[in-house]
Amino acid sequence: VGRDNPVLDVGLGLWSMRSTAAAPAPLPALYRELQDDARLAESLGFHSLWLSEHHFWYDGWCPSLLVAGASALAATTRLHVGTGVFLAPLHDPGHVAAVGLALERLAPGRFELGMGTGYRPDELAAFGVARSERGKRLDALLDRLADAWADGGPSIWLGGLSERALRRAGRRGLSLFLPSTMRLPQLREAIDVARAAADEAGTHLARVGMLKNAWIVDDADDEAAVRRAIGEASREYGGAWWELQGSVGFEVPELLDAQVARAAETALVGSADDLVAGLAELADAGVDLVALHVALDTTRPTYRAMMSRIAADVLPRLS
């Protein structure tokens, strides 16, 4: 892999169709824009578009990614549509198996099922899932899908950073889908853990995907503002949902600030050259698909222009 020519698929994230207090919008328009954005991403040459899931939140955060994803698949002909991530323990395995096969009929080879375990207590409780059962339920779903999709089905990616989660992906010969805020040493270590588990099981880790907050800027002022917007995009749900050292984010403002700052710092923000170099580093570490996270609620007015800019200035320099 040459440093000037990183080899990786570049997709875009992360559509969740939210009308937040910070960035209100009509929900029907957001679902129409999902289809428009999918067509735009396809025409610009991006590999994929990724969706995210949550439940029972005032902003409408999309709870049904297979349904929303199907509309994006039907709006396009080549684009892959993925989930980053689908909250596996909250869904009925038989239903996931059946819908996955329907999506495969609709759009062969174009649906990518990225899965995680979820963490928000209210979601788990409403679906009657104990926190301690999440891994077991994910494994049960994976067993079911391995059987139901033996003759073909969507590709499976697994999120999660615990050793157990990383080893699960390797052992089963699946792909990883890693979060944006990982730094390079941690990223290399995670990939090593998954690969070692794959070796032990006599299989190989299929692919390594990563979400990455990213934006092209023209100068230092612009960069500071963009990093702030990227960080702030996580403040509301981080404050309301994340458990930071035993307390909910908003109750421990300094810890929440640190998380927001981490999202800002780890984002790939700079010139087009900086983005290409950053992607090359990820490719060197073993990542072969990056979903550039540009569609934040805080960037809604401008992310489409950024999609075009990345397509013009970054995609041609990847192979």
Partner 1 sequence: VRLGLVAEEPWLDDARLADELGFDLVWIEAPLAVAAAAGAATTSIRIVAAPHASLDAIALAEEAAVADLATAGRLVLCVDATADVELLHDAFAGRPVERNGMRFRVTPLPAQLDLPVWIGPAADGAVTGRNRSIAVRAVSTGFDPVELAAELRSAGLDVAVLRLTGPGRREAIERIVRLVRPRLLLEDVSPGLDAYWRSLG
Binding site for partner 1 (CB under 8 A): 17, 27-28, 30-32, 34-35, 55-64, 66-75, 91-92, 94-95, 98-99, 102-103, 105-106, 122, 125-128
124, 118 contact by CB (below 8 A): yes
Q: The dihedral of CA 77, 80, 14, 269: what is its sign?
A: negative
Q: Give the SS3 label for residue 91.
A: coil
Nearer to partner 1, 72 or 174 (CB): 72
Neighbours of 147 (CB within 10 A): 10
Q: Which two tokens stand for residue 234?
A: 């996580």
Q: Which two tokens stand for residue 177?
A: 């889908």
Q: Minimum distance between the CB of residue 56 and partner 1, rounded to whole angstroms?
A: 5
Length of the chain: 319
Q: Minimum distance between the CB of residue 63 and partner 1, rounded to whole angstroms?
A: 4
Q: Could you tell me how far CA 39 lies from the centroid of its own chain? A: 19
Q: Minimum distance between the CB of residue 30 and partner 1, rounded to whole angstroms?
A: 8
Q: Minimum distance between the CB of residue 47 and partner 1, rounded to whole angstroms?
A: 20
Nearer to partner 1, 58 or 119 (CB): 58
Q: Minimum distance between the CB of residue 119 and partner 1, rounded to whole angstroms?
A: 17
CA angle, 180 then 181 then 182, to 5°: 95
Neighbours of 306 (CB within 10 A): 19
User: Residue 27 and residue 202: Cα distance in Å, rounded?
Assistant: 47
Q: Which long-range contacts (CB under 8 A, 24 or more apart) does 255-259 make?
A: 259/234
Nearer to partner 1, 56 or 222 (CB): 56
User: Residue 272 and residue 265: Cα distance in Å, rounded?
Assistant: 17
Nearer to partner 1, 48 or 259 (CB): 48
Nearer to partner 1, 128 or 202 (CB): 128
Nearer to partner 1, 7 or 126 (CB): 126
Q: Minimum distance between the CB of residue 104 and partner 1, rounded to whole angstroms?
A: 10
